[in-house]
Amino acid sequence: MLSRLRARVYFTVAAAAALLVGAAWLILGPISHSLHHDAAQLVSYGVVVGAFAILLGVVVSEALIRSLEAPVRDLQRVVTALAAGDQSARIRNVEDDELGELSRTVDRMATQIGARLDAMSAEEAQLRTILDSMVEAVFVTDPEGRIILTNAALQRLAGARVEGRTAVEAIRSPELHDAVALALRGVESSVQIETRMATESRVLAAHISPLPQGSGVVTVLHDVTDLKLADTVRRDFVANASHELRTPLTAIRGFAETLAGGVQDPVLVSRFVGRILEHSVRMQRLVDDLMQLSRAEAPDETFVVEPIDLSTAVARALRSVEAAAAKKRIKLQTDQAIAGVRVLADERALDHVLINLADNGVKYTPEEGSVTVRLRAAEDGWVYIEVADTGGGIAAPHLSRIFERFYRVDPGRSRDVGGTGLGLAIVKHLTQRMGGEVSVESSLGVGTVFRVKLRVARAES
Amino acid sequence: MMNTHTSQQYYTELRSLKDRLLAMGGRCEAHIRQALQALEHQDAMLANEVTGTDHQINADELAIDDLAVRILALRQPVGKDLRFLLTALKVVTDLERIGDEAVNIAERAEELSSEPHLPETWRALPEMANAAAAMLHDALDAFVEEDAEKAQSVLEKDDEVDEFYGQVMRKSLEYMAQHSARVKAAMGVVSCAKYIERIADHSTNIAEMVVYMVRGEDVRHRGKK
Ligand SMILES: Nc1ncnc2c1ncn2[C@@H]1O[C@H](COP(=O)(O)OP(=O)(O)O)[C@@H](O)[C@H]1O
Ligand SMILES: [Mg+2]
């Protein structure tokens, strides 16, 4: 535009100069005849003046055009920068003319666009933060069912980027596939799906809703694997407990019915009554252990943790298994180091822990073996109370599971020796309630060591 | 040449075929998992559920088969798309068979549910089934991602499952020798191991098809350049 302007100005200047020289020649021509030499000199003066006028005209117009060129270039620079996304670009020198007005408008526009873009990116950042801070996994699809938006939880769940995939490519579930198809047709639904994700099986509660105007689908996935697991554990527990109770109950009922049917033989009668007694003792033991366990797990059950003299507690526990140990000629031993040590514990809970461990030691150790209670230093302020036996030991795969309720390495053997499968679960919970922890170490054919870690009481307290 | 509208529709059909195949694969995985749970918990009701819902897998097979054949007939695809459709037709049969094996496991689980407890030898089964299901999952992943290397790695895992099978077989023979009264129960466990081994075989087939599908495409691309 400026170059065209420049051409026009030059053309005008040249035309004006030509006109000027022409006019001079027309006027001065006739006069020069009468004035001879002087006139010729005058004409050449005129030519020089004309040439000078042209030069001046060009210089002045060039300066004028330049003064116009600078603001236009500036305008061009700013608009180009804005288009490229640089919102900080502004026009530097603003004159007070039409061009200046235009520049001011461009500046105002730039400021407005900048503000609007800032607001938009703030909104987007906010949305991203909200999405990413959600525990639930979220994905949004386009109308074709392709995933276009996800959050951090979904990436974690899927273990890979899933943008551009369909829902069923990301999460291999027929139920989800059907639900997304349904939502694409405008129907909202909820399904529970169990599916193998990146590394393991997960249970997900999915809610799938259509976006307005059929523009896609939004799905929220809530990982309920742990809830489901807790539920399974609870159900298994109830099933196990009922099973354990039913066996002795069935036996008792059988003997009682036979007796009620009128058995005369006194030998049989006394044998039946003996069995009834035996089974009711077993039921009693189971119910006691169940109560014990439920107390150990109840959050409102109070545990008073105070300094307890360890040697008295250990002596009490060993006394309670003395008879059983004597029957199998098992030696019960106590480490001298225990004398005088006081631990921070709930007295009743500590008793139960020690009795259960000593009882297991005696139960699962063959005749002539030994069960030893000893002390071992732990980190500052803590001690290990160890209950070690010389029994058959526990194979490695079972070690991590024996603290589960009703878990037994050999269920038949445990029942034969009067076990309920709850002892170690009780030990674990009680120890934890006293702020300690319990662990086990075992080698097959050598023996087993259970280790209860508790805080020591300060000597003066 | 197809106009853009038809080609858009064609593309949608191919994608829908792929999605349905994956959904069917997910259903197979779920059935394997449930059958194993039924076995582990000696839960006849859960076993029945697997047997009772197998018709869904059969329906999946028919629908996918129909769709694939219809696309083949109407669109007469060539090259990569043709290989994809042929793969789909093969994969769908393998998936259907996997569904049948899950039903077989469920049936044995139902029989075993009346036993007082499972013979010790069953303990290897959950891990074995998990390995087989992982093969299926990875084979389908390879299918989605058109990843020949991943498919190749599935082929290698087949030996692992065979190894499991040998182990269960040996242990079961020992067990039967010692517990003659429990031969029938122990045989149930051996059968389940066999079914799982076949699931792994079908997954291997799927992986092989994926290798064919992808490698074929590679060759074509190389030819062009
Ligand atoms: N000292 C031990 N030596 C060997 N096995 C043990 C010992 N203590 C516990 N166990 C194993 O752990 C299982 C769980 O123990 P516990 O919870 O006390 O139940 P139980 O009532 O069967 O004794 C036992 O059945 C037994 O198999
Ligand atoms: Mg015990």
Can you give the pLDDT at residue A461?
A: 46
Residues listed for chain B: 225
Alpha carbon separation from A402 to A398, A422, A448 (Å, rounded): 6, 9, 12
Please enumerate in sequence order all residues whose Cβ is within 8 A of that of A308, keeping only pairs 6 or more positions apart, or say none: A342, A343, A344, A345, A347, A350, A457
C-alpha–C-alpha distance, residues A109 and A90, integer Å: 10
pLDDT band at residue A424 using 50, 70 and 90 as cut-offs: very high
DSSP for A391-428, written as a single string? S----HHHHTTTTSTT--SSHHHHHHTT--S-HHHHHH
Last residue of a domain, one of A279, A297, A315: A297
Greater confidence (A59 vs A334) lies with: A334
**Interface mutation vs chain B, best among A168, A204, A233, A238, most B CBs within 10 Å:** A168
Q: What is the pLDDT of residue A217?
A: 96
Predicted confidence at residue B148, as pLDDT, reads 92
- Give the structural domain span for A275: 230-297
The verdict on pTM exceeding 0.80 is no
pLDDT for A40:
66
Whether residues A237 and A155 share a domain: the answer is: no
Q: What is the mean pLDDT of residues A254-272?
A: 90
- What is the mean pLDDT of the segment spanning B75-88? 90
> Is residue A421 a part of any domain in this protein?
yes
Structural domain includes residue A59:
yes
- Mean pLDDT of the region A219-225: 94
Same domain, A138 and A121: no
Choosing from A132, A159, A174, the residue where a domain stops is A132
Long-range pairs for A386-389 at CB < 8 Å and ≥24 separation? A386/A449, A386/A450, A386/A451, A386/A452, A387/A354, A387/A357, A387/A358, A387/A361, A387/A449, A387/A450, A387/A452, A388/A361, A388/A447, A388/A448, A388/A449, A388/A450, A389/A360, A389/A361, A389/A362, A389/A364, A389/A365, A389/A447, A389/A448, A389/A449
ipTM of the modeled complex:
0.79
Q: Are A196 and B133 in contact (CB under 8 A)?
A: yes
The mean pLDDT of B33-60, rounded to a whole number, is 93
Q: Tell me which of A441 and A75 has the higher pLDDT.
A: A441
Report if residue A318 sits inside a domain: yes
- Same domain as A405, residue A434: yes
Q: How close, in Å, is residue A196 to chain B by CA atoms?
A: 8
Range among A4-8, A11-15, A90-94, A113-117 rated most confident? A113-117
**Contacts of residue B160, Cβ cutoff 8 Å, sequence gap at least 6:** B131
Residue A35, in any domain of the structure: yes
- pLDDT of B122-157, one tens digit each? 888 998 999 999 999 999 999 988 999 999 999 999
pLDDT tens-digit map of B162-207: 999 999 999 999 999 998 888 999 999 999 999 999 999 999 999 9
Residue A259 has pLDDT above 80, yes or no: yes
Establish if B33 belongs to a structural domain: yes
In a shared domain, residues A123 and A166: no
Which atom number of ligand 1 is nearest to the Cα of residue A450?
1
User: DSSP for A348-364?
Assistant: HHHHHHHHHHHHHHHHT
**What rounded mean pLDDT belongs to chain A?**
87
CATH number, residue A375: 3.30.565.10
Range of the domain at B137: 4-215
Domain count, chain A: 4
- The residue whose C-alpha atom lies closest to atom 25 belonging to ligand 1 is A408
A419 close to ligand 1 (CB < 6 Angstrom) = yes
Comparing A27 with B67, the larger pLDDT belongs to B67
Q: Are residues A138 and A43 in the same domain?
A: no
A194 and A113 share a domain?
Answer: no
Please indicate, yes or no, whether residues A127 and A147 belong to a single structural domain of this protein. Answer: no
Question: Does A460 fall in a domain?
Answer: no
Whether ligand 1 lies within 6 angstroms of the CB of A288 is answered as no
- Say yes or no: A381 and A419 in one domain: yes
Q: Which tokens in the block code for residue A97?
A: 């003319």
Beta bridge partners of A309: A342
- CA A376 to CA A383: how far, in whole Å? 6
Model confidence at A28: pLDDT above 80: no
Residue A105 lies in a domain: yes
For residue A178, how many other CB atoms are within 10 A of its CB?
15
- Tell me the shortest Cα–Cα distance from B22 to chain A, in angstroms: 6
pLDDT for residue A277 is more than 60: yes
From the CA of A53, how far away is ligand 1's center (Å)? 119
Q: What pLDDT, on a 0 to 100 scale, did the predictor assign at position B222?
A: 39
Last residue of a domain, one of A245, A274, A297: A297
Set of chain B residues whose Cβ sits within 8 Å of the Cβ of A163: none
Mean pLDDT, range A4-30, rounded to an integer = 74
Report pLDDT for A31. 65
Residues A125, A141, single domain; the answer is no
Domains contained in chain B, number: 1
CATH code for position B124: 1.20.58.220
Task: Give the per-residue pLDDT at A1.
Answer: 60
Burial category of A315 from C-beta neighbours within 10 Å (exposed 0-12, middle 13-18, buried 19 and up)? middle
Q: Is residue A461 part of a domain?
A: no
**Contact criterion met (CB below 8 Å) for A138 and A131:** yes
Q: Output the CA B175–ligand 1 centroid distance in Å.
A: 24
Q: What is the average pLDDT across A376-393?
A: 92
What confidence tens digit (pLDDT) does each residue in A67-121 have? 778 778 888 888 888 888 787 878 776 777 777 888 888 888 888 888 898 899 9
Which range has the top average pLDDT, A71-85, A250-264, A348-362, B109-123?
A348-362
User: Same structural domain for residues A212 and A284?
Assistant: no
With a 6 A CB cut-off, is A448 part of the ligand 1 pocket?
yes
Residue B47 lies in a domain: yes
Answer yes or no: do A87 and A69 share one domain. Answer: yes
Q: What is the mean pLDDT of residues A374-402?
A: 91
- Please tell me whether residues A450 and A319 are part of one structural domain: yes
pLDDT digits (tens, 9 = 90+) for A189-211: 999 998 887 668 899 999 999 99
CATH number for the domain including A175? 3.30.450.20
| CA B48 to ligand 2 center in whole angstroms | 37
The better pLDDT of the pair B116, A176 is held by: A176
- Mention every residue, 6+ apart, whose C-beta is less than 8 A from residue A127: none
- DSSP state for residue A212 in the 8-state scheme: G
When pLDDT is averaged across residues A136-154 and rounded to a whole number, the result is: 94
